[in-house]
Amino acid sequence: MSGIVWALLGAAAAVILAGCGSAYGVGVAGQAASGVVTEDPSKFAKVLIMQLLPGTQGIYGLLVAFLTLSKIGILGGGAADISVAPGLLIFAACLPIGIVGLVSGMHQGRTSVAAIGIVAKKPDQFGKAMLFPAMVETYAILALLISILAVSGIQV
């Protein structure tokens, strides 16, 4: 496979894996949010924020994919002629946000479900409840940082 294929695979992995993590997380948190709103519609805004928290991994994956596509010239309309080594390096650079995005998105979704339970019973504890799923975000941000630094630093 040529380098451009590896680089594109990297961009695809970042979007697909992180997107799957977010889709799972937002989905499961959405189920819990629906359960609370069924009984108490006044909590809609609070549980919506909880539901959205696991959605960021998908955005991070998209960001890294954009950077990658820009790097290899696909976005500009003229794909660069990349050899296998830099292509593989770009692929590897995309993996952190892909893999961490998948795992953290799923776990952040589950943590959001638990936090929605707190909001359901004690809405005044919303601030504290939001901190629990937000902690999971840290690791997605770290992975995003490494992916951005790595993709930006590779010479093609």
Binding site for other proteins (CB under 8 A): 28-29, 31-36, 38-40, 43, 106, 109-110, 113-114, 116-117, 120-121
* 31 vs 152, beta carbon nearer other proteins: 31
* 82 vs 120, beta carbon nearer other proteins: 120
75 in helix, strand or coil? Answer: coil
CB of 116 to other proteins, least distance (A): 5
The alpha helices in the chain, defined as continuous H runs, are 3-39, 44-52, 56-71, 84-121, 126-153
CB of 112 to other proteins, least distance (A): 10
* 77 vs 121, beta carbon nearer other proteins: 121
CA angle 142, 22, 92 (to 5 degrees): 45
CB of 42 to other proteins, least distance (A): 11
* 51 vs 68, beta carbon nearer other proteins: 51
Cβ distance 24 to 101 under 8 Å? Answer: no
Q: What span, in angstroms and rounded, lies between the C-alpha atoms of 156 and 153?
A: 9
* 7 vs 119, beta carbon nearer other proteins: 119
- Buried (b) or exposed (e) across 76-103, using 16+ Cβ within 10 A? eeeeeebeeebbbbbbebbbbbbbbbbb
CB of 118 to other proteins, least distance (A): 8
CB of 56 to other proteins, least distance (A): 19
